Amino acid sequence: MLLAFTSKAQDTNDKDDETKVKLKPYVGLGMGISYPLSDFQKVDYKNNKSGFANKGVTFQLDGAYYIYRNFGIGYTFSYQDQSNFSYDDDLILSQGYTTDFKADQGTVTADKRYRSFNLLVGPQYTFVWRSLSFDLRASAGAIKSQTSPQLTISVTGVDAQSGSITQQSAKGYAFAYGGSAAIRLDMGAGWGLSLKGNYVKSQGYDVTTTGRTLNVGRLVTKQPITEGQIVFGLYKAF
């Protein structure tokens, strides 16, 4: 009789332990700040990889589905807007083209901005402590450029360059990879708050330039993307 009771108690404890580590899938919405990093943020005219990107806003749909205990597959679908070129950005580019073309004057007019969608998926591991969950994730996927800055470059006093040069706005795809770390606070009934940090890197999409009749000056053919993001959100576990 005592043996049967002990065995039953042990079975109950085992079930309790399994319940503790069984995590529910969740999905959430968040908003935050997207920071350009590495070459993407640089403002160096001589470096063709410099993106002259600025801090902007990001909106994200984020979630995970758990496969075995604390291990799951996480996903993020996000939109980024890295803001407009600044006056100083235009001035740096204008001065660079003026020097390279040996022009009397050079002007750069920037239209549009860096706007993109990211879709990233990857393995996730979650640590749980009381009402807090700590998520670590590695991910890979794609960046889809909605727009990138369209630059119109005009130089005067250069006979070999007839008309203006246009660096076209890009709408291409590119492979991307990265990682993230998040803290989630369970507020009850499956609802909670989250704070998440993302790192995204890509070799970038192709960029086309038209109207160039003199082969000098800065020429961007591919724009690398590196982003760091801080996102605050609300999630629901099911």
Write the pLDDT tens digit of every residue in 100-145: 999 999 999 999 999 999 999 999 999 999 999 999 999 999 999 9
Which of 139, 168, 122, 147 shows the shortest CA–CA distance to 56?
147
**Could you read off the pLDDT of 176-213 as tens digits, one per residue?**
999 999 999 999 999 999 999 999 999 999 999 999 99
Per-residue pLDDT at 96 exceeds 70? yes
DSSP classification of residue 221: S
Q: Please tell me which residue, 11 or 116, carries the higher pLDDT value.
A: 116
- Predicted local confidence at residue 220, as pLDDT: 96
Per-residue pLDDT at 85 exceeds 80? yes
Mean pLDDT over residues 57-78, rounded? 97
Per-residue pLDDT at 158 exceeds 50? yes
6 membership: H or E segment, kind and range: helix 2-21
Q: CB of 192 within 8 A of CB of 234?
A: yes
What share of the chain has pLDDT > 70, as a percent?
91
Q: φ and ψ at 73, to 5 degrees? A: -115, 120
- Predicted local confidence at residue 149, as pLDDT: 96
Per-residue pLDDT at 1 exceeds 70? no
What share of the chain has pLDDT > 90, as a percent?
89
Rounded Cα distance between 2 and 188, Å, is 39
User: In which band, very low, low, confident or very high, does the pLDDT at 22 lie, cut at 50, 70 and 90?
Assistant: confident
For the domain made up of 26-237, the CATH class stated in words is mainly beta
- Predicted local confidence at residue 202, as pLDDT: 98
Question: How many Cα atoms sit within 13 Å of 165 on the Cβ side?
Answer: 27
Q: CB of 93 within 8 A of CB of 151?
A: yes
Q: Work out the widest C-alpha separation in the chain, in whole angstroms.
A: 104
Residues paired with residue 173 on neighbouring β-strands, in sequence order? 144
Q: What is the pTM of this model?
A: 0.87
- Predicted local confidence at residue 20, as pLDDT: 56
Mean pLDDT over residues 24-53, rounded? 97
155 membership: H or E segment, kind and range: strand 150-156
Instruction: At 177, list the tokens.
Output: 């990879």
